[in-house]
Amino acid sequence: MNVIITGASRGIGRAVADKFAANGHSLFLSSRDPKLLEEAVLEIKKKWPSVNIHSRAADISKKQEAIELGDWILKQKIPIDVLVNNAGSFIPGSVHNEPEGVLEKMMAVNLFSAYHLTRCLIPGMIKRKEGHIFNICSIASLKAYENGGAYSISKFALLGFNRNLREEMKPFNIKVTAILPGAAYTDSWAASGIDPRRIMEANDIAELVYSAAHLSPQACVEEIIVRPQLGDL
């Protein structure tokens, strides 16, 4: 199985990469920071030396870089089995007082990156009538929350993209799944002072993605909502 993962150098993306690597799947990884991406690849290879890993750094919030990443993947001449649109970012704030340009940035990182990369890769999947696309959304895709602002708006939009794509891809036998996690412990939570035991692990999300990707061809998990046991923070 060939698995493309964006935002793969840390957090949920890295956990998903580890899960697929541990089971022998070939990885095509991308993230914005070339140093962090290289470190992630080396660590994965150290644990699973036989796994085939390709990587390319790209800031896919920029349309041209998203397209260039897609073209690079297509040049590998491999069937795309799983695409995990995980690249994302969070800037806190509220609609009435967040800095100018935050909405545009959140939409570019959290929505347009997935939109442009998917559009680049999906023709081959349609031709094969096979593949699975995951969009890493958020609980913020379902319910506005304090200090969510443009981030929540962008994640609402990503869920809308997922739902529309799901309907479009049914005739082509391509599965489309939205993952909607609550707080999961990643680097962004490290300085928060929150007890890691209060929130989920990134590995929890990786397990869900992996399981959903291995159901029978007749089954598609459309949306997965997962929250910390004690609820949202």
**What is the reported pLDDT for 113?**
98
List Cβ neighbours of 141 (8 Å cut-off, separation of 6 or more): 152, 155, 156, 158, 159, 178, 180
List Cβ neighbours of 164 (8 Å cut-off, separation of 6 or more): none
**What is the reported pLDDT for 100?**
94
For 161, what's the count of Cα atoms within 13 Å in the CB-facing half-sphere?
A: 25
Q: pLDDT of 164-196, one tens digit each?
A: 999 999 999 999 999 999 988 776 666 677 888
**What is the reported pLDDT for 133?**
98
Q: pLDDT of 104-135, one tens digit each?
A: 999 999 999 999 999 999 999 999 999 999 99
**What is the reported pLDDT for 199?**
87
* Residue that is written with structure tokens 């304090």 in the block: 146
**CATH class of segment(s) 2-226:** alpha beta
What's this model's pTM, rounded to 2 decimal places?
Answer: 0.94
Residues of the chain with pLDDT under 50: none
* Helix (H), strand (E) at residue 83: strand 82-85
**What is the reported pLDDT for 197?**
84
**What is the reported pLDDT for 170?**
98
Residues counted in the chain: 233
Q: Where are the domains of the chain?
A: 2-226
